[in-house]
Structure 1
Amino acid sequence: MKKKLFSIGIVLMMFSCSTNDSLEIQNQEQKDLLSKAEINSVIKKSIETKGDFKWSEQNVNIIWSALKHGNNLLTIGYGNSKTNYQRSSTSQNIKNEILALVTSIEKTASKGKSEIFADKNINVIDLKVKNKETIIALLNDKRVRYIEPADYSFFNSEQQDQQRSSSSGGSGCGYSQLTLNSNDYRTISPGARVPWAFDAHKIPQAWDYSTGSGVTVAIIDSGLSPEQKWMNQYFNDGYSSGRTVQKYGTFVDSWWAWSNNYDGVNDKCGHGTKMAAVATAPRNNDNLPVGVAYNANLVTYRAVENVLINDYHEKRGVAEALTALGNRSDVKVISMSIGSPFSIGRVEDAVKYAYNRGKMILAAGGTSTSFTTWYGVIFPASMNETVAVSGVKEGQYSNCDVCHSGSKIDFTIQMQRRNGTDNKIPVLSYYNGKENYVGGSSVATATTAGIAALVWAKHPGWSRAQVLQKMKESSDFYPNTHSEYGYGNIDALKAVQ
């Protein structure tokens, strides 16, 4: 009996010690856990001092804290070198080895239990990770190119709602429609409206040489409105003929990271529709704004909810759209009037994937809202592989009221009037047959994408480098660059002559 009581006592002591140890660990974790405000302060400081922020340059506790605020979802970029982002048989073996490593530390039943998503084109996986020890091991593993808290959102839901409402009718979401000021356009045959900014860049004169025929422009954004028939069933109308429009979706609208239910192709923001229209809207007799490359083919991707690449499914959606477009031989130009204040590893990999397949990727330099005024040139416009575009005021090199500038900018587009109205560029609205104005670096990017299509259509055998060089030579500051505005405003007529 004494032996039995003694044994029970030992068990109780062991249980008590185990419980105490567990409580100590939990208490220590609570002390170590940084708040979102503290993490965001680190991010902001890095952007302000270095111009960017990278998770892999941070200490273990910052990464772990962000992971805790992001559903414990970790993105791992792997490979046999820092530049090995493309999937191969070798990288498949590395992926399996990393899964085994994570499984051994996390004590999960099998390596498949940790895996949430594995990209088919680039060396990226998303895993469920809870322990600091796992983060330490991955940071010290030469097979790991980077790690990032996949579902950490720099902006909260309230700020994203503000982004939608404050940008309505401008550079962000919005379904509004406005009657255009007659001074902001002129009418050409067979009855199309040419936005004032097109004349400022001699786009109508360029149409004597090229209208974009045979070139496919891709828009990665919030999708395409099913309500605007001129961007759907009547995409071929009037002087626009023999072209195609295709719609895809890579955005998952779900709180759950493991959901793979794509949200479809339809725009639920309005931004993507306006960008597609600026670049490719038809030239017809309905007294509506025409697009820059009105005979180009169009491919749209619903990859984000709004202009910010912020949550996990948006990061993944953009990367999937880029790699899919990279695999298409017909796509020449990819326009991205969206972005993030700092780098996203998987999107960076996907940009390089598409770039190395000859695509010209144009990206918005940045458009401020009430809570993003301190950003410089945003990601991915900050990458060397993208063509960064921003907006300036009519007839002067002065930032539009909300546009970003900096040494990373390649080109500018005049998109804000100074005639007392401050109107932006006229464009098709979300709803059928309606018009609106759109501004910011977003519309500047889509306009430049259209000009690139005009040049490529004139010279279909040219490489991206040749098209880009012609665009540079046709800009105000060439052969020099401006410290804030790159090569400056493009003369579309020179670019196609």
Structure 2
Amino acid sequence: MPTRTRHGRLRAVASALAGLLLVGGAASPAHADSTRSQQWYLDAMHAEEMWKITKGKGIKVAVIDTGVDPTNPDLSGQVLDGLDLAPASRAGDEHTDYEGHGTGMAGLIAGTGAYGGGNGSFGLAPGVKILPIRVPAETEDNMGFGRPAYLAKAIRYAADAHAQVINISMGSAVTDADLTAAVKYALDRGSLIFAAVGNEAEKGNALVYPAATPGAVGVGSVGKDLRRSSFSQYGPQVDVAAPGEEMVHACGGKTGLCKSRGTSDATALASASAALIWSKHPTWTNNQVLRVMLNTIGGPTDGAKRNDSIGYGIVRPRIALQNPGDPGPADVYPLPDLKAAEKTTSPSADASASQGAGAPAKGDDTGGTASAGKDSGNSTVWVVVGVAAAGLFAAVVAAVAISRKRRRQLPPPPPPGMPMQQAPYGGWQFTQPGPGSGAGPQSGPYDHGGRQ
């Protein structure tokens, strides 16, 4: 979810609670000589080193988003036929990206760099195939309240299509039992779900689903300094983190190249990380792939098992490929939230009001719905307000509006040896995050010779 509040303005106080949070990012022009030289996160994660082992071949990643454009040069040959859940009023199908966001996420995952004879943008796992599933925009699904139904249907389709990894770089501030059941269905079918936790940390920090749904892996964003991005939402729903700032990647539109930031981007890199590991170990189950990701992660430095800023830590697929350790039991989900949710007989009254009846949220290791947590990376208190939240939500329903985000495009990179020219932006306008400090620095997730 780059920090883009896509396509529009914040129209009302309630959008953080009841609108769709299609988490996007801010954009600015690139000035380096090549696209690849701007992709700092690939250097930090030692992409070329990993690509000597695997590029993700044999893995299918479902991208539940705004569509994926298969004509983008960096995605040529990477995009399969999928499913279109957008209304008939939307032109095209799942291969028609109505905002460019889905193509951007696919580019971060599977971009091949083919543009300009190899001068394009690369994804972290350029050997995977993308299964596009297009879902409606916020204004087409009852102001966000219809979002769980579309996401549930998309997740079930992806699982039935045997997508090992399901990437959801979007979300909803409301949920229901169908979405919770769909996540569990996908896990039972052998898939892994990675979902963005949202970009409204400074604007309410509300829970976003399915990132907060038990069984989905909630992904937060970090920058080059390995701190939680100021926009990245925090709390018990955060399981892992990945780079999500100054991201350069393929996208839709005239130029086919964008720069963005957000937990959307971080989610795409987490999905690609899982794809690389799974490609190297195709006989592993979803539980084993996730367990190895967690076992090799760059964790918090405060001595805790996890914190609410980056969860259990920053993904390190290179370490997982080199020294994965014991993948553990094939049939046991490694995160505690799923078992905790199964022990919960019914949600609390507050949870029912703000999340939807029968739809538990992630909690701590002992079970229960989402509870107050501490943003240990920022030394600030994260409080889930019970009765007050329910009252606010009721007021919000009366005046709900949608926060949407748009991203600016970059001009296409010049041929090698030619300087990059700054060109006018086309069609994207991002909301920049406000000032704020991230979490405390995390030690050594990427040992990349000092390049952060």
**Pairwise TM-score range, normalised by the shorter structure:** 0.5 to 0.7
Match of 2:315 in 1: 490
- Of 266, 285, 291, the residue aligned with 1:444 is 266
Are residue 182 (structure 1) and residue 32 (structure 2) matched? Answer: yes
Match of 1:473 in 2: 295
* C-alpha distance 306-246 of structure 1, shift in aligned 2 (>3 A): farther
Alpha-carbon offset, residue 475 of structure 1: 1.0
Task: Note if contact 2:187-2:286 (Cα within 8 Å) is conserved in structure 1.
Answer: no
* C-alpha distance 300-447 of structure 1, shift in aligned 2 (>3 A): same
1:324 partner amino acid: Y
Are residue 374 (structure 1) and residue 204 (structure 2) matched? Answer: yes
Partner SS, residue 226 of structure 2: coil
Are residue 200 (structure 1) and residue 51 (structure 2) matched? Answer: no
Q: Deviations over 1:109-161 (max 9, x none)?
A: xxxxxxxxxxxxxxxxxxxxxxxxxxxxxxxxxxxxxxxxxxxxx34xxxx8x
Alpha-carbon offset, residue 434 of structure 1: 3.1
Corresponding pairs, count? 304
- Determine which structure has the larger helix proportion and give its number: 1
Q: For residues 273 and 307 of structure 1, what CA distance do their matches in structure 2 show?
A: 20
Structure number with higher relative contact order (C-alpha < 8 Å, ≥ 6 residues apart)? 2
Q: Deviations over 1:83-107 (max 9, x none)?
A: xxxxxxxxxxxxxxxxxxxxxxxxx
Task: Note if contact 1:412-1:444 (Cα within 8 Å) is conserved in structure 2.
Answer: yes
- Of 199, 216, 225, the residue aligned with 2:69 is 225
Alpha-carbon offset, residue 379 of structure 1: 1.1
* C-alpha distance 405-313 of structure 1, shift in aligned 2 (>3 A): closer
Q: For residues 226 and 211 of structure 1, what CA distance do their matches in structure 2 show?
A: 19
Q: Deviations over 1:403-429 (max 9, x none)?
A: 11222211111222xxxxxxx110112
Alpha-carbon offset, residue 277 of structure 1: 0.8
Task: Note if contact 1:250-1:263 (Cα within 8 Å) is conserved in structure 2.
Answer: no
Compute the TM-score of the two structures, normalised by the length of structure 1. 0.55
Task: Note if contact 1:228-1:433 (Cα within 8 Å) is conserved in structure 2.
Answer: no
The higher radius of gyration belongs to: 1
* C-alpha distance 281-307 of structure 1, shift in aligned 2 (>3 A): farther
Match of 1:250 in 2: 85
- Of 171, 182, 187, the residue aligned with 1:339 is 171
Q: Percent identity?
A: 24
2:180 partner amino acid: E
2:30 partner amino acid: L
- Determine which structure has the larger strand proportion and give its number: 1
Match of 2:127 in 1: 295
Match of 2:396 in 1: none
Match of 1:120 in 2: none
Q: Deviations over 1:38-83 (max 9, x none)?
A: xx98x98xx7xxxxxxxxxxxxxxxxxxxxxxxxxxxxxxxxxxxx
Match of 1:456 in 2: 278
Q: For residues 315 and 405 of structure 1, what CA distance do their matches in structure 2 show?
A: 21
Alpha-carbon offset, residue 303 of structure 1: 1.3
Alpha-carbon offset, residue 228 of structure 1: 2.2
Match of 1:20 in 2: none
Are residue 391 (structure 1) and residue 232 (structure 2) matched? Answer: no
- Of 352, 364, 367, the residue aligned with 2:196 is 364
Are residue 403 (structure 1) and residue 235 (structure 2) matched? Answer: no
Q: How does 1:66-465 map to 2 (within 5 A)?
A: 154-155=18-19, 170-171=24-25, 179-182=29-32, 187=36, 195-225=39-69, 228-231=72-75, 234-235=76-77, 245-252=80-87, 264-265=93-94, 266-284=96-114, 285-305=117-137, 310-311=143-144, 314-329=147-162, 331-368=163-200, 373-397=203-227, 399-416=228-245, 424-431=246-253, 434-465=256-287
Task: Note if contact 2:62-2:132 (Cα within 8 Å) is conserved in structure 1.
Answer: yes
Task: Note if contact 2:240-2:314 (Cα within 8 Å) is conserved in structure 1.
Answer: yes
Q: Which runs of 5+ in 2 are unaligned?
A: 1-12, 323-452
* C-alpha distance 333-272 of structure 1, shift in aligned 2 (>3 A): same
Alpha-carbon offset, residue 446 of structure 1: 0.6
Q: Which runs of 5+ in 1 are unaligned?
A: 1-39, 48-153, 188-192, 237-243, 255-260, 417-423
Alpha-carbon offset, residue 245 of structure 1: 2.3
Compute the TM-score of the two structures, normalised by the length of structure 2. 0.60
